[in-house]
Chains A and B, each alone.
Chain A
Amino acid sequence: MEFLYVIISLVIVAGLLAWRDLPIIDGSILASGAGERYGVRILAPVIILAGLSLPAILPDYESPILSAVPAMAKSLLPVGIATLVAVLTVFRFSRFPAAPFAFMGALVGLGLATGDAPGAREILPFIYSWLAAPLLCALLAAGLYRIYSLRMRNRKTHMAVTEGRLLCAATLTAPLLLASAAYNNSSLFLCLLNGGGYVSTAIAAACALIGWFCVRNRTSRAAWNIADYELDTNSLTILSLMLAMALCFALFSSPIPAMAGLAATPLPAGTLYLAALLGISLVRKRALADGQEILLGAVAAVISPVLALMIAYCLGMILNGGLLGTAIVLGIALLLSALSFLRRRQNKRNIRKQLIRNRQEQVYSTQKALSALEVKAEMTERDLRSKLDLKRKELVDFAVGVSDQKEFMENVYRELAGVRAMEDGPAKDRATDTLLGSLRERMYFTREMNDFYARSEVLNEDFNMRLRERFPNLTENERKLTNLLRQGFSSKYIASLMNITPKSAEINRSRLRAKLGLKRSDNLINFIKAI
């Protein structure tokens, strides 16, 4: 059973490293072109295994945090769980959740719960190292880039030769990066197995392989994503980045930092990667990474260990503490869970309310649009109906007019025939005069004119109503004149339509102006149209 706890913790740590840290290293190697070399691709797993096995052969570096691992195997489970929870939480806002830092934080948290934690004096060098490592990586990357670019500045070397050299350097750097990263992070596995030794190393390697197989496809996709999109830059940048990371991993796995008051420590590849990109960006004066991402990466490197420490401490209290401690921790955990649950429920409720509101608004706007359409259709129908009525009336009038005309012509014909048959001269003259009179009357087409005015009245119903309201003292003839002027008839036509002379039409017009109260400068037609 204890063995199972160890294995679970190992798989969690291996899985996290393979999930987040390996794609960064693999992506850099792929971007440099070294990843396409058969030698590198075939040797990569062997190099990683060798890196993990090195502590078994070489003396492992001393680490008060890593050596403060609890003796009871079941105590390791909280470390794994705390690391996992912390990494997953931090991953919500940063792609680089700094798993090794979280692991170390979890170990300290568990130590605090059990009373085996190293003192602040021993922990401080680690915190300094966690700050110094990214800084050093940025400086190294920037320095390497600067040195090589200065060296190449005034040389007209062919691109094929330059790129060949860089590829050669990347091919040599790739195994170094893989080995140093594996060696640096191997301490995480070995501390879970309580020290070095071949058996422990083999178990660590097996767990790393299991972790790798678990997330292989995802890792590969992420690595290609980094190579194709994030590191779509020149070969020198990628080489500088790889070399700086490799040197940092190697340096912080050796006893050298201890000489400067720091400590050898496992490092997250993501944090180093962001630091190197930042360093090169500063030298090139061109951003190679998103500033917000770098900032969130730095925040993640701080929050990960703190969060893991808190979680591991709580779990440690539950496992090793007394009844009171367990109750307090459980109470806090329950309270936090309840708060989280309530917040989530509230969020869900808010979202649901928002959704309902949105739907209601949609329904309301649809209904509004529908009623607008209905009103429009109704108005169109009414308009069409009135037009149809008008046309029908016109047709009937036309038919009546035709029959009326025919009847009149027949009468004229009969009367003319009668006049011709008359022999008495004066009687013939009288009959002719009567006939001419009726023809003249017909020529004035009084009835048609009345029809015209009636129709005009119907068509301009609103206008006539407004005219009557505003100018009640206008005579019938003046109202007719106003209608004709509104329709754009000239004085000549108006005279003809009203059976008056053009001069009379002009006089009527000036009278109308006076009745409407217009000045000399006012335009009569514009005034009428504005009514």
Chain B
Amino acid sequence: MGISDIFSRKKADLLSENIDALLDSIDGALLVFKGGVKDYLYGEEAGFAENLAKMAALETDALTRIREIESTLYSRGYLIRSRGDIMRLLERLDHIISIIGVDLVQFEIEAPNVPKELRREFVKLSELASLAVESCIPGTKAYFTEPHNVAETTAQVYFYDKEAVKLSQSIKRTVFHQMDNLKLSEKFHLRYFALHIEDLANAAVKVAEQLSVMAIKRAL
């Protein structure tokens, strides 16, 4: 590190760029996820395959961004007081990306038999879970610029998570109580997918909680 680096803004700009790009990747991945689920449920195989490919690219991009952010944070003395918190936030965001990717791949591998009556519910569930994650993105941006605004976005995340959980329970209830034509293994399979999509909303709640703590710590 040269003496000129002390006055350089390059690292700060790179970090803010990478954080914004990572959040954009997550946003994009959510759109692809929603599209992918819809394509699978309505039998659009070509569209689903395209979404899978897009998802893989977005996942790789997000991981690269996370690594770059981590390497900037590890550089000496940078963001020393909030480094640990940001790392934890990155871990949680990484978890969200991996859930999105894995869910879509599991649809492709396991090809669950979703009855026609449940298609709309599954689409709605994926939308609610995605909305929960989407609500985290402005919260994350607010943490870096206006930490006092973080609290506003966390309320939305909790709301969408609650709705997603309710819908997921309703799907499970319908599957086990009303669909006698399905085999038990098929019922379990559907429950498993509902649970996995619900997990996305739970991961968003964890991000929201982390953001709340971080915002409080920044105010100290």
Contact = CB atoms under 8 A, between A and B. Distances in A.
A60 interface: no
Contacts of A235: 80-81
A160 B144 contact: yes
A185 interface: no
B19 A171 contact: no
A37 B144 CA distance: 24
Given A164-B12, A168-B6, A233 B220 contact: yes
Contacts of A9: none
28 contacts: A32-B80, A33-B78, A35-B77, A36-B77, A36-B80, A37-B6, A37-B76, A38-B76, A39-B6, A156-B145, A158-B12, A158-B16, A158-B145, A159-B82, A159-B145, A160-B16, A160-B19, A161-B9, A163-B12, A163-B78, A164-B11, A164-B78, A167-B80, A233-B81, A233-B220, A234-B220, A235-B81, A286-B220
A471 B36 CA distance: 97
B79 interface: yes
B77 A167 contact: yes
Nearest to A232: B81
Contact of B76 (A36, A156, A234, A286): A36
B143 A159 contact: yes
Interface string B68-85: 000000001111111000
Interface in A130-168: 156-161, 163-165, 167-168
A172 interface: yes
B109 interface: no
Chain A CB within 10 Å, residue with most, of B77, B79, B145: B77
Contacts of B16: 158, 160-161
A34 interface: yes
A54 B81 CA distance: 34
Contacts of B12: 158, 160-161, 163-165
A159 B144 contact: yes
Contacts of B81: 31, 33, 232-235
A32 B77 CA distance: 8
Interface string B1-40: 1010011010111011001000000000000000000000
A34 B9 contact: no
Contacts of B82: 159, 163
- Interface magnitude class on chain B: 20 to 34
Contacts of A159: 79, 82, 143-145, 218
B44 interface: no
Chain B CB within 10 Å, residue with most, of A38, A157, A163: A163
A223 B146 CA distance: 32
A204 to B, nearest CB: 29
Nearest to A158: B16
Nearest to A286: B220
Nearest to B1: A38
B1 A156 contact: no
Given A164-B9, A164-B12, A234-B218, A156 B77 contact: no
Nearest to B14: A160
Interface in A211-253: 232-235
Interface string A38-67: 110000000000000000000000000000
Chain B CB within 10 Å, residue with most, of A160, A161, A234: A160
